[in-house]
């Protein structure tokens, strides 16, 4: 998409540029963990529709159920009630078309960078040669060229997380789910990764859901920001981000950026949390 065609969105973020179909539908979804010490209700009924190509950020207090929501979307755990549909099909197991970046990088210590990145290809029994070329390209883009044959313990935390992001993208999934992928990074690396993620989204038009503790990060990257309540989490509000694309870091000083960040922050003050 040419940059000149991008315009300021207003109202419904995704539909302002082009009407897109709903790709992910979260329908009356609840989750209660059953433990030996009793039930832990984690999600109250959640309804959410995410359009193809949309970038949605989710913010909320610690322990409100954000990771739970992402794991449900990834088909890693079953809902207690309600369902999630991707492309109209109920999610019952991890779908092929989804890439996930976990809250910590969870790389396999005995595998090199390239072999960690190739994991989803092996698991899905996809063509090795074409995907190996793709893996190398992703690794280069992530600034990890020359580190293909290193082990996770030979990498910095940021490099490990970038490896995990390459792994989530290697099979070219339509949907990418990210759980605080930049939480452990220093502020400058984090900003670089934000720009990189924006570039990936812009070039590939993937549908991305990002969980973050950073309100500025959510506003900077997303088309819409979902604000969750305390546990059991439900949706307190959904905000369209009224900023054009591509976005530069300077836009964080834009009055619209500051106003929306403040509005989101007020939810946490209201709940007694400084997130
Ligand atoms: N496997 C589990 N068994 C029992 N309870 C769980 C399990 N996983 C999560 N929980 C509980 O569910 C609630 C939501 O957890 P979740 O990890 O989804 O929160 P979160 O919003 O991602 O928090 P954070 O921002 O700290 O990562 C928490 O109270 C947690 O203790
Ligand atoms: Mg979490």
pTM flag (> 0.85): yes
Residue identifier of the C-alpha nearest atom 1 of ligand 1 = 33
The mean pLDDT of 260-273, rounded to a whole number, is 86
pLDDT, tens only, 226-250: 999 999 999 999 999 999 999 999 9
Verify that 237 and 158 share a domain, yes or no.
no
Residue 105 has a pLDDT of: 79
Domain interval for residue 263: 3-97+174-270
CA of residue 120 relative to chain centroid, distance: 17
- Give 68 Cα–ligand 1 centroid separation in angstroms: 6
| SS3 category, 95 | coil
Residue 275 has a pLDDT of: 45
Does any domain span residue 275?
no
Phi/psi at 270 (5° precision) = -60, -35
Domain boundary among 172, 193, 217: 172
Surrounding residues of ion ligand 2, Cβ less than 5 A: 67
User: CA 127, 132, 134 angle in degrees (round to 5)?
Assistant: 100
Phi/psi at 233 (5° precision) = -65, 140
pLDDT, tens only, 42-64: 999 999 999 999 999 999 999 99
Verify that 32 and 136 share a domain, yes or no.
no
Higher pLDDT pick, 10 / 56: 56
Verify that 241 and 182 share a domain, yes or no.
yes
State the total domains in the chain.
2
Domain boundary among 155, 172, 189: 172
**Closest C-alpha to 156, from 117, 107, 197:** 107
Domain boundary among 172, 207, 228: 172
CA of residue 72 relative to chain centroid, distance: 13
CATH number at residue 12: 3.40.50.300
């Amino acid at each position: 998409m040419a940059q000149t065609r991008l315009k300021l969105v207003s109202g419904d973020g995704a539909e302002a540029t082009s009407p897109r179909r709903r790709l992910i539908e979260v329908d009356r979804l609840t989750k209660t963990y059953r433990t030996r010490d009793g039930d832990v209700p984690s999600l109250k009924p959640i309804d959410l529709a995410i359009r193809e190509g949309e970038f949605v950020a989710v913010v909320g207090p610690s322990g409100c159920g954000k990771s739970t929501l992402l794991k449900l979307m990834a088909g890693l755990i079953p809902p207690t009630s309600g369902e999630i549909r991707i492309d109209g099909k109920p999610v019952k197991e991890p779908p092929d078309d989804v890439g996930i970046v976990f809250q910590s990088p969870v790389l396999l210590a005995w595998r090199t960078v390239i072999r960690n990145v190739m994991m989803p290809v092996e698991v899905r029994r996809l063509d090795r040669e074409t995907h190996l070329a793709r893996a190398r390209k992703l690794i280069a883009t992530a600034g990890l060229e020359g580190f293909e044959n290193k082990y996770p313990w030979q990498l910095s935390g940021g490099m490990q997380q970038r490896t995990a992001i390459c792994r989530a993208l290697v099979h070219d999934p339509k949907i990418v789910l990210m759980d605080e992928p930049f939480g452990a990074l220093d502020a400058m690396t984090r900003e670089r990764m934000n720009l990189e993620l924006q570039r990936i989204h812009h070039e590939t038009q993937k549908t991305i859901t990002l969980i973050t503790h950073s309100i500025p990060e959510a506003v900077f990257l997303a088309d819409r920001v979902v604000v969750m309540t305390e546990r059991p989490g439900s949706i307190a509000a959904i905000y369209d981000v009224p900023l054009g694309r591509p976005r530069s870091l300077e836009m964080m000083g834009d009055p619209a950026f500051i106003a929306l960040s403040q509005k989101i922050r007020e939810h946490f003050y209201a709940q007694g949390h400084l997130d």
